[in-house]
């Protein structure tokens, strides 16, 4: 029997069902975003809302608030919606340096009725640490390590 290690323990791989293979349920990219002077660009520091949503349509990092997903409650709501659409499993690939939190992922999995949630721990080269405006083609995976 093939097994998969989830944040709640090992399961039979046949239980995975439909899998989202590359997700970031919780992530903090604020340290990677260039922060303008608040006097010159006060809009950058606004909380994301319906009146400034247009800003992130053109540039996802136009508002610092859009570089942060840290709500367990929202992640649980999204996982429930995914389950209701037929999804069963999620692979979270968030790096430690941008907010990977095993305990919160475990809580999300438990609160979403023990759905399958895996957590990987990839490592990236220095190219990853560049400004987020760099094209994804400049990012290279170095290796995956045991956590």
pLDDT digits (tens, 9 = 90+) for 94-108: 988 899 999 999 999
Report how many domains make up the chain.
Answer: 1
Residue 102's domain comprises 3-26+70-144
pLDDT digits (tens, 9 = 90+) for 47-96: 999 999 999 998 999 999 999 999 999 999 999 999 999 999 999 999 88
Whether 104 is in a domain gets the answer yes
Whether 64 is in a domain gets the answer no
Task: Write down the mean pLDDT value for the chain.
Answer: 83
More confident residue, 145 or 26: 26
Whether 34 is in a domain gets the answer no
Whether 17 is in a domain gets the answer yes
Whether 135 is in a domain gets the answer yes
Average pLDDT, integer, range 23-35: 92
Three-state DSSP string of the chain: CCEEEECCEEEEHHHCCCEEEEECCCEECHHHCCCCCCCCCHHHHCCCCCCCHHHHHHCCCCCHHHHEECCHHHHHHHHHHHHHCCCCEEEECCCHHHCCCHHHHHHHHHHCCCCEEEECCEEECHHHHCCCCCCHHHCCEEEECCC
Which pLDDT score is estimated for 113?
A: 65
Whether 58 is in a domain gets the answer no
Whether 13 is in a domain gets the answer yes
Whether 133 is in a domain gets the answer yes
């Amino acid at each position: 029997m093939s097994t998969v290690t989830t944040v709640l323990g090992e399961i039979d791989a046949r239980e995975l069902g439909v899998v989202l293979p590359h997700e970031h349920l919780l992530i903090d990219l604020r340290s990677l975003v260039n922060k303008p002077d608040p006097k010159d660009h006060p809009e950058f520091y606004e909380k994301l809302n319906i009146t400034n949503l247009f800003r992130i349509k053109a540039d996802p990092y136009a508002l610092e608030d859009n570089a942060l997903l840290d709500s367990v409650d929202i992640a649980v709501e999204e996982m429930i919606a995914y389950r209701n659409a037929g999804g069963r499993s999620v692979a979270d690939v968030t790096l430690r340096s941008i907010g990977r939190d095993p305990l919160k992922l475990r809580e999300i999995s438990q609160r979403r009725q023990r759905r399958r949630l895996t957590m990987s721990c990839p490592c990236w080269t220095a190219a990853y640490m560049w400004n987020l405006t760099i094209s994804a083609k400049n990012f290279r995976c170095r290796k995956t390590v045991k956590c």
